[in-house]
Amino acid sequence: MWRAARRLALVAAGLSRGRAAPGSALSSPVSPVRGCRRLCSGDFHPPLASVGLTGRLVWPGGGHRKISISTMPEINTDDLDEQQVQLLAEMCIVIDEDDNRIGADTKKNCHLNENIEKGLLHRAFSVFLFNSENKLLLQQRSDAKITFPDCFTNTCCSHPLSTPLELEEQNAVGVRRAAQRRMQAEMGIPLEQVTPEELFYLTRIHYKARSNGIWGEHEIDYILFVQKNVMLNPDPNEVKSYCYVTQEELKELLEKASRNEIKITPWFKLIAETFLFKWWDNLNHLKTFVDHAKIHRM
């Protein structure tokens, strides 16, 4: 009921769907970050996959002991967003601390702190997309997100799935295919505008962070860069606002986060404070910084 009422209120207010021109940033007076465009719930909704919460986990350690999902903790999701709850059925790639694939489990189980504290670790990626003006595309995660809602972060952050196309590991092609898929799902970037071959794989980071008492992240995160002007049509169920920023504008955003004026995701904070600006200064010379052998523990 409240969603329907919200849609009616937005319509009454005269809010309408919009599309950003390639490489542009649209301003919005209601966004907490200058230059970011705030989305409304009527902008765009991609189709949902209809899958059940089924699957089997190969648990790290203990001789790769198999544990049925029926033994996983039961969590009530009634108060969570319906579209985001459906996505909890996706099967993530379970890995050990050296990024060796050891099984699969649902997104739900991979993001429960109770499982994370037992060592459950999955594969992920973070995309950093720059336009021709060397500005970085940021998004603010929607309030509907189960982990780290309302947080500012890099262009796109998600997980490759345990499917044949996204399990392929040579040259991280499976991860790059997943990134292409999720850039379309989150930011509305047409598949043909950013291909897996255009996503430049730099390195990996391993981090763990709690979102709240129930949900968290524990990932080995592939860092992917691309510089290209693209069309944007974000899904408001995924993205609350978005904007392109200069280095100085990002530093201001990080300062605001340090004063608790806005929130940023923990992985974006780690990457920004450790690597991002030196990579940003060398967008035309990224091969110098490639390190596929090392996993940075953060």
Over the stretch 132-169, which tens digit does the pLDDT of each residue have? 999 999 999 999 999 999 999 999 999 999 999 999 99
Residue 252 main-chain phi, psi, to 5 deg = -65, -40
Q: Tell me what percent of the residues of the chain surpass a pLDDT of 90.
A: 71
Query: Do residues 28 and 36 touch, judged by C-beta distance below 8 A?
Result: yes
Minimal CA–CA distance to 221: which of 171, 160, 165, 180?
160
CA–CA separation, 24 vs 21, rounded Å? Answer: 5
- Name the catalytic one among 219, 238, 243, 249: 219
Tokens 């999955």 belong to residue: 122
- Name the catalytic one among 110, 156, 157, 243: 157
Tokens 């209601």 belong to residue: 30
Give yes or no: 192 in active site.
Answer: no
Mean pLDDT of 12-40: 53
- DSSP assignment string, 224-238: EEEE----B---TTT
pTM: 0.81
Mean pLDDT of 235-244: 97
266-286 as b/e: b if 16+ CB within 10 A: bbbbbbbeebbeebbeeeeee
Specify the pLDDT at position 34. 74
User: Taking all residues of the chain, what is their mean pLDDT, rounded to a whole number?
Assistant: 84
Alpha helix (H) ranges present in 94-225?
107-110, 113-116, 164-167, 173-187
Specify the pLDDT at position 87. 85
pLDDT class of 30 with cuts at 50, 70, 90: low
Residue 216 main-chain phi, psi, to 5 deg = -165, -170
CA triple 44-244-143, angle to 5 deg: 45
Mean pLDDT of 54-59: 40
Per residue in 60-82, pLDDT tens?
443 343 433 435 567 788 888 89
pLDDT class of 41 with cuts at 50, 70, 90: low
Range of lowest pLDDT (75-89, 132-146, 205-219, 259-273): 75-89
- Residue 253 tokens, joined: 């955003």
Query: Do residues 253 and 140 touch, judged by C-beta distance below 8 A?
Result: no
Specify the pLDDT at position 237. 96
pLDDT class of 193 with cuts at 50, 70, 90: very high
Per residue in 167-176, pLDDT tens?
999 999 999 9
- Residue 268 tokens, joined: 């974006």
Specify the pLDDT at position 176. 98
Give yes or no: 40 in active site.
Answer: no
Strand partners, 172: none
Specify the pLDDT at position 81. 84
Count of CB atoms situated within 10 Å of the CB of 183: 26
Residue of higher predicted confidence among 43 and 266? 266
CA–CA separation, 119 vs 96, rounded Å? Answer: 9
